[in-house]
Amino acid sequence: MSQAEIDLTTCDREPIHLLGTVQAFGCLIAVSADWMVLHASENVETMLGFPLADLIGTRFETHFPASVAHVLRGRTQIFQSGVPIARLFGEPLFEDARRFDISIHPTARGFIFEFEEKSATEHRDDFELVQTLVAQLRSQPELDGLMTVGAAAMRHLSGFDRVMIYRFEDDGSGTVIAESRDPDIESYFGLRFPASDIPKQARALYLRSPLRLIADTEAPVSPIRPARCPEARVIDLSSAVTRAVSPIHLQYLRNMGTRASMSSSIIRNNALWGLFACHHMTPRYVDYERRSAIELFTQLFNYELADRINTATQEEVALTRRLHDRIMARVSSGRGLMEDFATLAEDIHDLIDFDGIAVFSDDSYLALGAAPTEAEFIRLVRFLNTTTMGAVYATTALSESYEHAAEIADRVAGLLVIPISRTPRDYIVLFRAEIRQSVTWAGSPAKSLVPTPEGDRLQPRQSFAAWQEEVSGQCESWGEATLNIAKTLRYTLLEVILKVTDEANRATEHMRQKQELMVAELNHRVRNILNLITGIVSQGNRDMPSIDAYVSDLEGRIQSLARAHDQITRQDWEATSLDGLLRTEVSAYVTDTGTTLLLEEPDVQLTPGAFTTIALVVHELVTNSVKYGALSRDSGQIRITKAFNSAGALLLRWAEMGGPPVCAPDRQGFGTSIIERSIPFDLHGRARLRYQLTGLVAEFELPAIHFEPVDAQASPLPLATDLVKAVAGAASSAADEAPDMTQSEPLEGFDVLLVEDNLIVAMDVYAKLVSLGARKIHMTNSVKQAKATLDALSVDCAVLDVNLGTETSIEIATRLHLGGIPFVLATGYGRDGNVLTGFPEVSVLTKPYDVEALRLALIAELPRKVRQAGPASRAG
């Protein structure tokens, strides 16, 4: 193991939050949830006058006046609202002149109280001073000025000899970027401190407990007793303000000549950005009230820092937007990415410095400046393909992660990668050459291990004089601002340039892809409807008096879903008219919907997600009305009214008139459950049924996300009954033109090839073919099996499922077509599927299909000569 590895792991393993001691300026008492004293620091007797032996295992309230105990107990109530710590300043705990600042924070077992005796007696307003100092911060428009004034303000507020603003770098090291100090004290401005100076667990504590005071590096500490709880755990002091310090860190401060220290965390985006690091050459105690003001000042400084960074980011965004506009202006002229690459490179260089740039798109490579050759870049692409998909990637030291970096080291040390596609992975890559630099460390970052009774411990370095180290094999840091520009630029290139160019050059292909996506979405919706049908089948038989009644209701509900599905697909799965749905459902039972169904304006367009649910509800209302309500009489009418509430929800009212007297049913059937529960359950709306004597009234509230205003110019959808008639007429016409083959068993004596990859579907089609008279059925589930069957046997016709999972049956269809063997195609995608374009005249069965549809398809495909010649077996 190397020395560096030893240093880092030793630092990071030290349990600095479990040291079990407190500093001399305060004492600690830990209590359980029922206020029993669990732990106390040994100095409670000198600070509060309580013998330690009399505290442990007793009730907290017995040691303080009742009024004090009441105040402390009341302060703990704020933890219920998520406040992490409670503070009290200048509290009189006892009947004397002493005053105490108190910190309270919750633990897993109860609470921790920390007491600091207040020494200052003069009146001061720390928070007014904070306001004055923050006003000085706000007067600084630039980040550098904010840092300089911030360090000076913190020194004025804290009184320390030296205050530094310490910014963390990407590798965990830190650089002093601002400093305010006594002229007689050594300056650390511009120096860099290694990551091991503030190890990982220390940085984690700086986030959890933002302010840390070490009043005297030479002062004795006070142990907490008992050292462990009955479960053998050490008390966790992560949030304790008096928590003592690691001996390693104390020695580190002594080596710097520092007797007192304070740090306050600079936090941005919930991450540790840096620290206010305060040093004093003599012991210095800052009371808890002033420390709280310092903590408030730091929080306000954090806001000002975020504002300056956000302002700079907005300026970067503005520059990137202007670049976006220039790119768009050129794209509109129809120039492609490769054609316009030189100009694009100049535009990018206005925002990001680089030594070389390359584009790799559609397996084509183009580079400018100091960049790899095409062969070198092809090898590099394999490395780039392992980076996070779709994310900008940057490195300042390519040699640390890319094994072939030496091949291009004379031109490239670091790179910034902007993905401009998803599949295949295409890139624009910016290259930077090596820049040799000297890092000025605050002393040599190397440390050594020394043996101790507790094991090998890290020995802090003795010298903090500037120490130079030359760094090679790296390029200039890309920086957060550059990465933000690159991310925005990626969106421009990916979502604008490539998309617009593709639309201009391949509009037809784009439309085809869109249609395929539509079909895929439709297929997904159909599967959902099939799941819905399964529920209807299983639930709808519970209250039916007979099988015939069950079958009749089931067929009605499924036909309602079919009608709804037809309407949605005719709208390309867009929002669909509610009035059209109402007319469609009523027209299935009533000839003259114009006088029976009274629809009031306005109409709305239902979203596809809501349409199926509403269709089922309307179907149940219509069938109930036909059986028992207004539609059971010629004089009956249904009035539909609509309104909108203040939240934009649709208030839909169904009122029946002119029917027989209505009374509430004795029990609730499945249909009533659909009416009352579907909209609340599926669409988070409301439903209410009222059985008035004059007719049923159903009222529904549909949230606004499930509909949109109707297009007044849209053409009304044809009624489902009209479509049925049209389809029936077309089928009749086709039957008239087809060969005379009307027998119920058109396959009598025929051998049939069946290709279907789903066993349940195959068994169902097998049974259908048997019922149509097929003599022998050869059932296969793949192209390989089907080819083997055709090689070995003769068949008279075939039924082919188009989509066989990982393959299609088009190869078999082609073979059958060339051999003059008739066949029909079955698919869940309908005639629009691209794979069917080679067979425009072949009958296509759209799944699911019944035996009658199969019979008609076979009649259309089996030519007269096949019927006259007879089955293939006779010819053989």
Q: Of residues 662 and 111, which shows the higher confidence score?
A: 111
- Average pLDDT, stretch 760-781? 88
Q: Lowest mean pLDDT of 526-535, 670-679, 700-709, name the range.
A: 526-535
pLDDT category of residue 554 using cuts at 50, 70 and 90 = low
Q: Lowest mean pLDDT of 302-306, 511-515, 750-754, name the range.
A: 511-515
Q: Is the pLDDT of residue 124 over 90?
A: no
Which one of 128-137, 202-211, 614-623, 798-807 scores highest in mean pLDDT?
128-137
Q: What does the radius of gyration of the chain's CA atoms come to, in whole angstroms? A: 41
pLDDT of residue 595: 80
pLDDT of residue 373: 95
pLDDT category of residue 459 using cuts at 50, 70 and 90 = low
| pLDDT tens-digit series, residues 258-281 | 999 999 999 998 999 999 999 999
H, E, C per residue of 445-469: CCCEEEEECCEEEEECCCCCCEEEE
Note the Cα 143 to chain centre separation in Å.
33
How large is the angle between the packed helices 608-628 and 547-570, nearest 10 degrees? Answer: 140
pLDDT of residue 868: 45
pLDDT category of residue 429 using cuts at 50, 70 and 90 = very high
Q: Residue type for 182, please?
A: D
- Average pLDDT, stretch 829-849? 70
| pLDDT tens-digit series, residues 340-391 | 788 889 888 888 999 999 999 888 899 999 999 999 999 999 999 999 888 8
Let me know: does 270 contact 216? Beta carbons within 8 Å.
no
pLDDT of residue 755: 94
| pLDDT tens-digit series, residues 461-502 | 555 666 666 667 888 889 888 888 888 888 877 765 555 555
Q: Lowest mean pLDDT of 15-24, 242-251, 283-292, 595-604, name the range.
A: 15-24
Which one of 520-534, 580-594, 726-740 scores highest in mean pLDDT?
580-594
| pLDDT tens-digit series, residues 53-63 | 899 999 999 99
Give, in order, the Cα–Cα distances in Å from 123 to each of 120, 129, 438: 8, 13, 50
% of the chain surpassing 90 pLDDT = 40
Q: Is the pLDDT of residue 529 over 60?
A: no
Q: Which residues contact 73 (CB under 8 A, 6 or more apart)?
A: 35, 61
pLDDT of residue 872: 54
Q: Is the pLDDT of residue 333 over 70?
A: no
Q: Is the pLDDT of residue 411 over 90?
A: yes
d(CA 578, CA 572): 16
Q: Is the pLDDT of residue 722 over 50?
A: no
Q: Of residues 801 and 849, which shows the higher confidence score?
A: 801
Q: How does the average pLDDT of the chain come out, rounded?
A: 81
Q: Which residues contact 234 (CB under 8 A, 6 or more apart)?
A: 15, 18, 20, 227, 228
Residue 744 sits at φ, ψ, to 5 deg, of -75, -15
Q: Which domains does the chain have, with CATH numbers?
A: 21-117 (3.30.450.20), 123-309 (3.30.450.40), 332-435+474-505 (3.30.450.270), 515-723 (3.30.565.10), 738-875 (3.40.50.2300)
Q: Is the pLDDT of residue 172 over 90?
A: no
Let me know: does 65 contact 76? Beta carbons within 8 Å.
no
- Provide the 3-class DSSP secondary structure of residue 820: coil
